Structure 1
Amino acid sequence: MDKNNRIEKKRRQEIEMLDCMIRIYCRGNHGTKEKLCEDCQALREYAVTRTQKCPFMEIKTFCSACKVHCYSTQMQQRVKAVMRYAGPRMLFVHPVMALKHVKVTLAEKKKNSRKGM
């Protein structure tokens, strides 16, 4: 797989993870079934746009681990709330996706602790 395909695959996976977590959050907090509420749809669109334009996709793991935070402060807070709520619930909805996310997160933390970050 060439570099561009690898980056696009990673981008798609990140968008899929965001989408899944926002859906879990919206369903649990706003009572939606099929469609997202207006606020969650706006958050999803914002996050997808940022992910599609990310120049660091090749080297970063997740936005939370990135040195450059391109989300506005308000959107960062909203995404953090989504992650805090949906993260633990991912194990029941998409266990494989959740375990992959945990594995990458732990590997990144271990790498950063070796670097003294």
Structure 2
Amino acid sequence: MNATEKKTVGKMIHLYCHAKHGRRHTLCAACTELNEYAQKRLSKCVYGNEKPTCKKCPVHCYTPSMRARIKEVMHYAGPRMLFRSPLLAIIHVFSELRKSPVK
């Protein structure tokens, strides 16, 4: 599994938790749960290193409730990543352009 993807989603959750829950250095319980879940799902991805970005993936491995939560985090944190972690944001954009959906 790509460590950069794990780092990117972790950073997005931290940005979200800081802004929405006022947590500066540690995640709140709900965001910790989401981060652990996302990291575990990324580790167990059936596509391994050939994994497309989640947006393009034909298999949605998150439960509906967790999928809604991560979408909310990504909607908030995605645009802010360019200012907070520009390198991770650029890598994510290029990987989304480069990787096609797995058939």
Q: TM-score, normalised by structure 2?
A: 0.89
Amino acid at match of 2:69: R
Gaps of at least 5 residues in structure 1 are: 1-7, 113-117
Report the counterpart of residue 99 of structure 1 in structure 2: 90
Shift of 1:52: 1.0
2:9 and 2:49 mapped to 1: Cα distance?
Answer: 18
Shift of 1:13: 1.2
Count of aligned positions: 101
Amino acid at match of 2:59: V
Q: CA RMSD in A?
A: 1.4
Shift of 1:64: 2.1
Greater length-normalized contact order (CA 8 Å, ≥ 6 residues apart): 2
Amino acid at match of 2:22: G
Alpha-carbon displacement from aligned partner over 1:44-90 (angstroms, at most 9, x marks no partner)? 01111111111212222222221111100111110000001000110
> Which runs of structure 1 show a deviation greater than 6 angstroms over 4 or more consecutive aligned residues?
none
Work out whether residues 45 and 51 of structure 2, in 8 Å CA contact, stay in contact via their aligned partners in 1. no
Gaps of at least 5 residues in structure 2 are: none
Report the counterpart of residue 38 of structure 1 in structure 2: 29
Amino acid at match of 2:52: T
Counterparts in 2 of 1:77-92, with a 5 A limit?
77-92=68-83
Alpha-carbon displacement from aligned partner over 1:7-27 (angstroms, at most 9, x marks no partner)? x4x1x1111011100000000
Shift of 1:31: 0.6
1:51 aligned to 2:46? no
Instruction: Look at both structures and tell me which one has the larger radius of gyration over its CA atoms.
Output: 1
Shift of 1:100: 1.5
Amino acid at match of 2:74: M
Higher helix proportion (structure 1 or 2): 1
Q: TM-score, normalised by structure 1?
A: 0.79
Amino acid at match of 1:27: H
